[in-house]
Amino acid sequence: MNHKLRGFLYGIAAFILINISCPKAYGQIDSAQHFNTRHVIYQPEMLLAQSRIQLDSGYIDQAKILVDQAYAIATQNNDAQGQVEALMLSGKIEFKSGNNAQALYSFWKTMKLKSKIGDKGFSERIYYNMAVTFASMKQYPLALKYFQKANLAKEKKTQRKAGTTITSFSYADIDTMAESSDDTTFDNNARSISWSDDPVHLLNDKLLVVDADTIYVHHKATQRKEQKITEANILHAFDDGKQAVAYGLVLHTKQPVSGKRKTFSGINNVGHMFITLIKYNADAGYTSRTFGFYPDKDNFLSATPIIPTSSGTFKDDGQHDWDEMVAKFIPRRSFNRILRMVKKYSKTKYNLNKNNCTDFGLCVASVAGIRIQDTHGSWPLGSGNNPGFAGQSISDDKVLDDDNDELLIIDTMKDNLQ
């Protein structure tokens, strides 16, 4: 029987049993506690089904109680599949509660059970959920890295079914290739690199610290929000003398009103679009910069509908919030073209109607083969590309990739976890 259908049927059974045995509504915590006294009757699937109902209904605490009980029973019975499903759901609950580190830890514990269950393809789900969680933590290099792990896990599953194998290169192979190659050698290098599918890789990741009950990111960003940076600060960061093995781009949008195709809200809320550039190195480290194009206001009315032009500047957006993001690996030649574009933009004027933060983001995206439709809207005395329309188009799946590459698309208004 399909596990989703089985879970649905267990959910119905659990709902009926709860309401028969407990006079209070199933949404109350007493019903969750009732499971504790009669857990022998219920299988983990039934507890998990009810936990999902509680989560969907907004009862986070009750959902946690039920999933913890399901995990305890599955562990006691040496039910690895039950443990996996409980940990997966626990990660989702923690993520929805804003506890990203706890969510990561649940996903990591799930990977440790990989060899004990029959479903060898669940790595794809775990890695993808980790990618979404890292993005929520504003750890974009890790988000894109684990998204690629998810893609490779998916390919491995497909290849196993077909009876073939995936050819991959090690970091040493890429170093050797780099000595006598041109830029085109690296066009698909992110797919070629042997990103480890071993669950213990997390313990060897220099950027992650694993404690007894959590995972957190080492060296968290401490930069102030929206601090000015020069094009030299950006360009020199990537000229670090380290051998690159992959490059990435992330496009972020913050809408004036989340989930609405509006060009502005209030007096001065027009949203923002910004980018992250990532260079992955052969030593397993990386360099990244998150920034956007801003008006460097010449006077009070600069960059307004009355006087749309202004001097331009870049600002550090490493801690800037966003509603939607699109990310992908890009070839080296595209990365270098974007760096040249950054240098060019540092000498251009900001124009609210023709050369704003969204225009900058869309130009960079086009170099990477990303095209977003319906990004143009109007406002009093003007019109142009804007974060409200661009962000909503991302949410509405109006994103095209000329290279047919896999895109990591996240919308904070949706449930992005698998």
> What is the chain's pLDDT, residue by residue, as a tens digit (418 residues)?
554 555 555 555 555 544 443 333 333 444 444 444 444 445 889 999 999 999 999 999 999 999 999 999 999 999 999 999 999 999 999 999 999 988 988 998 888 887 788 766 788 899 999 999 999 999 999 999 999 989 888 887 777 777 765 554 444 443 333 333 444 444 445 555 555 444 444 444 555 555 545 555 555 444 456 799 999 999 999 999 999 999 999 999 999 999 999 999 988 899 999 999 999 998 888 999 999 999 998 899 999 999 999 999 999 999 999 999 999 999 999 999 999 999 999 999 999 999 999 999 999 999 999 999 999 999 999 999 999 999 999 999 999 999 999 999 999 999 999 8
Q: Are residues 243 and 383 in the same domain?
A: yes
In whole angstroms, what is the distance from residue 358 CA to residue 274 CA?
Answer: 8
Q: Is residue 59 part of a domain?
A: yes
- Residue where one domain finishes, among candidates 54, 78, 100: 100
Residue 335, C-beta contacts closer than 8 angstroms, at least 6 positions apart: 247, 249, 277, 279
43 is a domain residue: yes
Give domain status of residue 21, yes or no: yes
Q: How many domains does the chain contain in total?
A: 2
The answer to whether residue 200 sits within a structural domain is no
Domain boundary among 100, 116, 139: 100
Rounded Cα–Cα distance for residues 72 and 75 (Å): 5
In the listed set 41, 65, 100, which residue is the last one of a domain according to the structure? 100
Q: Are residues 94 and 241 both part of a single domain?
A: no
Nearest CA to 291 among 345, 367, 349? 345
Identify whether 142 is part of a domain.
no
Residue 208: partners with Cβ closer than 8 Å, 6 or more residues away: 142, 202, 215, 216, 217, 218
Does residue 233 share a domain with residue 93?
no
* Residue 112 included in any domain: no
Q: Are residues 87 and 236 in the same domain?
A: no
The reply to whether 367 and 234 lie within a common domain is yes
Task: Determine, yes or no, domain membership for 418.
Answer: no
User: Which residue range is the domain that position 229 belongs to?
Assistant: 222-411
AA letter at 306: I
With 0-12 CB in 10 A as exposed, 13-18 as middle and 19+ as buried, what is 3?
A: exposed
Q: Tokens representing 88?
A: 């997966």
- Strands 309-316 and 376-379 turn out to be unpaired
Task: Say if 378 falls within a structural domain.
Answer: yes
91, 106 Cβ separation under 8 angstroms = yes
